[in-house]
Structure 1
């Protein structure tokens, strides 16, 4: 599955998104990866370290898992970027008080976050919504919608520095292809709402202030996927580093044309930037955005 007009489709990292490209360098920058202790988040943190970020802050709920992950990150990237400071911050992003304390500590330490990666997520329960406890449904909103809003607002309101900021939202194909997550209806629902949230924020803010890009990380065999028992599906899984390196690319000026939009890690960034997709982005304000299928924002269907 892809956009019909695209000819290239990647399942592994490729030169255009390599974090070793000088154009994608993260030197001098601090990156906060929310939900970075395993899977896609870990790969994203690793890619930013490889891109020479000055500091990479990784958050997670499970202290032990997070500590092991950060220790492994330091070991794996010692040769590629020995100067990068890698830190673990234990936090449940759905806990507003913990989030407040995290950002207060960063401020007191004089740390300015240049790039925020929203990767923490709840996958919901395998139940119809009306058969799920109200509290459980609302918990998915707190993690997939309220937490991104909280983190983004605190990111925006930093007082420890100035300069271009980048927000990378790890979304999902399930935000619009409901059948793919039919067993977990609140997952697609809340991820769609979360993607629309950052889309609406992008509408009201210049990319020169905060560049905001959402992307589908691909079909990655994550820890959550294994728990779901889908690791035996007859498909070729995508390399997790494809998503990791795509996140770095999305946090650079090369992705500015996608401000407020959604794309796939599988798409070739050069083809997207210079081909028919770029033309459609330039002509259609709704292209690659959350909306109502068949109805455009231009006139909403009204006869005038």
Structure 2
């Protein structure tokens, strides 16, 4: 197999949950450029319409669904439709997620459970729906979008950190349970990524100085910058391709070195 073929996704079917914008959209776009056929879900018709416009602008024929990934029956129906229209899912990216920045003692149980349901239970539900098809096909790739909070705690993100820590271990357990079926399950742990959602945190202050949080992140990152969605594309293709056939149960942190760095002495 040539190196180009090793990283090719030609003919593969990829489902990217939450693939309507941000990291999910960037990964789906990369997969399409590598030859995959794309399916994605989002939570509303408004998001679906916006996403389809974005995919069309990129010249990508994507199949979009409005689907609540915490609803087992709706996920089963979506997977069945993808199987019938595009073929058996070869690549699953569990990307859909939320974060609620609320101090722990101020957070009610409903908010905590919602984050756990979307960020941890949903990847279990969607993985469970696609694994039988992968087993029947004799191969499959599952990529869970984890986080630096899979390793670290931080104030106001108790639910998110709990969910992403659990997702790391779900990744390892899927590897353990289905590695013998030639299914590789790995995770990507993004660092702080420059997206429209984080733009306010990166705006220069009126005096020209960095936003305090921007300065904090840059000081903690050996690369000296925020990541971009493009920084995630290569790792995502690697973990979805034959190049990673003996990589399983691994979390690939794409963080510019934050987790390796204690920080500068004051």
TM tier, smaller: 0.7 to 0.9
Q: CA deviation at 1:207?
A: 6.1
Q: CA deviation at 1:164?
A: 1.3
For 1:71, which of 53, 57, 62 is the aligned residue?
53
What is the rounded CA distance, in whole Å, between the counterparts of 2:190 and 2:251 in structure 1?
A: 11
What is the rounded CA distance, in whole Å, between the counterparts of 2:136 and 2:246 in structure 1?
A: 25
CA 1:230 to 1:119, structure 2 compared with 1: closer, same or farther past 3 Å? Answer: same
For 2:69, which of 93, 101, 108 is the aligned residue?
93
Q: CA deviation at 1:110?
A: 6.7
What is the rounded CA distance, in whole Å, between the counterparts of 1:173 and 1:166 in structure 2?
A: 22
CA 1:64 to 1:245, structure 2 compared with 1: closer, same or farther past 3 Å? Answer: farther
Q: Which residue of 1 aligns with 2:112?
A: 137
Which protein has greater RCO, CA pairs closer than 8 Å, 6+ apart? 1
Unpaired segments ≥5 residues, structure 2: 203-210, 219-224, 258-266
Q: Which residue of 2 aligns with 1:104?
A: 80
Q: Which residue of 2 aligns with 1:38?
A: 21
Using the size of structure 2 for normalisation, the TM-score is 0.81
Contact 1:61 1:92 in 2 (8 A): yes
Contact 1:112 1:161 in 2 (8 A): no
What is the rounded CA distance, in whole Å, between the counterparts of 2:79 and 2:164 in structure 1?
A: 24
Using the size of structure 1 for normalisation, the TM-score is 0.71
Q: Please tell me the root mean square deviation across aligned C-alpha atoms, in Å.
A: 2.4
Q: Which residue of 2 aligns with 1:244?
A: 233
Q: CA deviation at 1:174?
A: 1.1
Contact 1:110 1:160 in 2 (8 A): no
Does residue 20 of structure 2 align to residue 28 of structure 1?
Answer: no
Q: CA deviation at 1:217?
A: 2.1
Q: Which residue of 2 aligns with 1:230?
A: 201
Structure 1 residues 229-276: Cα deviation after superposition (integer angstroms, max 9, x where no partner): 5333123211211112321111123223430011223579xxxxxxxx
Q: Which residue of 2 aligns with 1:5?
A: none
For 2:151, which of 176, 179, 184 is the aligned residue?
176
Where 1:238 maps in the other structure, the secondary structure is coil
Where 1:74 maps in the other structure, the secondary structure is helix
Does residue 48 of structure 2 align to residue 61 of structure 1?
Answer: no
Structure 1 residues 47-71: Cα deviation after superposition (integer angstroms, max 9, x where no partner): 0011011x10021113222322232
What is the rounded CA distance, in whole Å, between the counterparts of 1:110 and 1:65 in structure 2?
A: 22
Q: CA deviation at 1:108?
A: 4.4
What is the rounded CA distance, in whole Å, between the counterparts of 1:108 and 1:184 in structure 2?
A: 39
Matches for 1:1-304 after TM superposition, within 5 Å: 21-53=4-36, 55-76=37-58, 78=59, 85-109=61-85, 111-128=87-104, 130-158=105-133, 162-179=137-154, 182-206=155-179, 209-226=182-199, 229-231=200-202, 232=211, 233-234=214-215, 235=218, 236-265=225-254
What is the rounded CA distance, in whole Å, between the counterparts of 1:207 and 1:237 in structure 2?
A: 38
Unpaired segments ≥5 residues, structure 1: 1-19, 79-83, 269-304
Q: Which residue of 2 aligns with 1:7?
A: none
What is the rounded CA distance, in whole Å, between the counterparts of 2:237 and 2:196 in structure 1?
A: 22
